[in-house]
Amino acid sequence: MSPTTLQSWVQVPADSDFTIHNLPYGIFRSSDRSPRAGIAIGDYVVDLVMLAQRGFLNAIPLHTDVFSREYLNDFIALGKPVWQAVRRRITELLTQGNTELQAFADEVLVPARYVQMQIPVKVGDYTDFYSSEEHASNVGKMFRGPENALLPNWKHLPVAYHGRSSSIVVSGTDIIRPKGQLKPPDAPAPTFGPSRRMDFELEVAFVIGKPTQLGEIISTEAAEDHFFGFVLFNDWSARDIQQWEYQPLGPFLGKNFASSVSPWLVPLEALEPFRVPGRAQYPEVLPYLKYKVILFSTFNWKWPCSRKTLRNRYSAGLISDTSTGTSVSNWPTIR
């Protein structure tokens, strides 16, 4: 599980998340640059518009203006061979010993302290999978007591619901405390007012880069080809609103007021060195949900809980999501 040890000529502080092995994508702007795509390295952002305009990506079949959009969607739509080529080329340009960029460093490398980050993608559908056994058990205890924490379907299929796309905002955006109906179990009737039980859920969301058509079903083997990458996701939750409203149709007003995503979208390839075996699936799941895929471990997250692993994901969300034949054409963000 040792990451490779490539070094960049760009200085990367020892505690930085943004080594040459990460190279996440985001949308940034600054006082003299309109919103555009960038890649983080150390305390800098690589301006992909400038990089392309200066001809450094000429060998890759893309139009420069795909990077000067408000969202990464059009770039992501170019497909995996293009993502791979861009990542490979930028890794090359930033690797210690490569001097191609150095004369243009002032133009291409923007100090991170001068930029404002925006939400990286325009989200079509957002699906929330209830895929951590520990989390599902904790929330289940909160609402239904310990004896009904994990419902009978949980070990057989990825339980999930659709969330609100229009209120997904970039991390750092102020969240307005939601109002709603509150009815503690012992109250005779609900009252209306600000939530008193605000909670958050730390999640990893995956961004779909390869769309499907209605009726198309994704196998566990093919699922990874559909992932562009990952963001951190805060599924803000008003537990008092949720408790009173959530039966029988699931959470709605308890969650719809806001969800925060990280500005940086980490490509799947950046996580390759961290693959570990997935959790054993027991009792045995139906064949369409069995995976040989291995998952990822050991993230360092700047969040109250400091380390977390994707290994705890139990089930195969995207496969289940398309098993009915629905489409994932709109870059849903799915955890």
Binding residue (CB under 8 A) for a second copy from 246, 276, 291, 312: 246
Count of positions on this chain that bind a second copy (CB under 8 A)? 65
Q: In this chain, which of 71, 104, 244, 301 binds a second copy, going by CB under 8 A?
A: 244
Positions in 287-326 near a second copy (CB under 8 A)? 287-288, 320-321, 323-326
Answer yes or no: 135 catalytic.
yes
Element spanning 114, H or E: none
Q: Which is nearer to a second copy, 47 or 245 (CB)?
A: 245
151 is a site residue for a second copy (CB under 8 A): yes
Task: Give yes or no for residue 220 binding a second copy (CB under 8 A).
Answer: no
Nearest to 250 by CA among 164, 312, 138: 164
For residue 292, give the amino acid letter.
Answer: K
Contact residue for a second copy among 61, 111, 184, 215 (CB under 8 A)? 215
191 binds a second copy (CB under 8 A): yes
Can you tell me the distance from the alpha carbon of 283 to that of 287, in angstroms, rounded to the nearest whole number?
A: 12
**Contact predicate 179/194, CB 8 Å:** yes
CB-count burial class (<10 Å; 0-12, 13-18, 19+) for 175: middle
- Residues of span 131-150 touching a second copy by CB under 8 A: 140, 143-144
Q: Which of the ranges 28-36, 52-60, 103-111, 237-245 carries the binding residues for a second copy, by CB under 8 A? A: 237-245
CB of 270 to a second copy, least distance (A): 27
Q: Is 280 in the site for a second copy (CB under 8 A)?
A: no
**Residue selected from 16, 64, 171, 181 as contacting a second copy according to rule CB under 8 A:** 181
Alpha carbon 164 to its chain centroid, in Å, reads 15
Residues 48-107 within binding reach of a second copy (CB under 8 A): none
Buried-exposed string 123-160: b where 16+ CB fall within 10 A, e elsewhere:
bbbbbbbbbbbeebeebbeeeeeeeebbeeebeebbbb
Interacting residues of 270 by C-beta distance below 8 A, sequence separation 6+: 21, 22, 23, 24, 229
Does 200 bind a second copy (CB under 8 A)? Our answer is: no
From the list 36-44, 51-59, 61-69, 155-163, the region that binds a second copy by CB under 8 A is 155-163
Which of 63, 135, 156, 226 is labelled catalytic?
135
Tokens 């949980």: give the residue: 154
| DSSP conformation class of 303 | S
Sign of CA dihedral 144, 150, 156, 157: positive
- By beta-carbon proximity to a second copy, the closer residue of 6 and 286 is 286
Are 192 and 181 in contact by the 8 Å Cβ rule? The answer is yes
Say if residues 39 and 48 touch (Cβ distance below 8 Å). Answer: yes
Count other Cβ atoms within 10 Å, centred on residue 188. Answer: 5
Q: Could you list the residues that contact a second copy (CB under 8 A)?
A: 124-125, 127-128, 130, 140, 143-144, 151, 153, 156-157, 159-167, 169, 176, 178-181, 183, 189-192, 214-215, 217, 238, 241, 244-253, 256-258, 283, 286-288, 320-321, 323-330, 332
Catalytic residues: 135
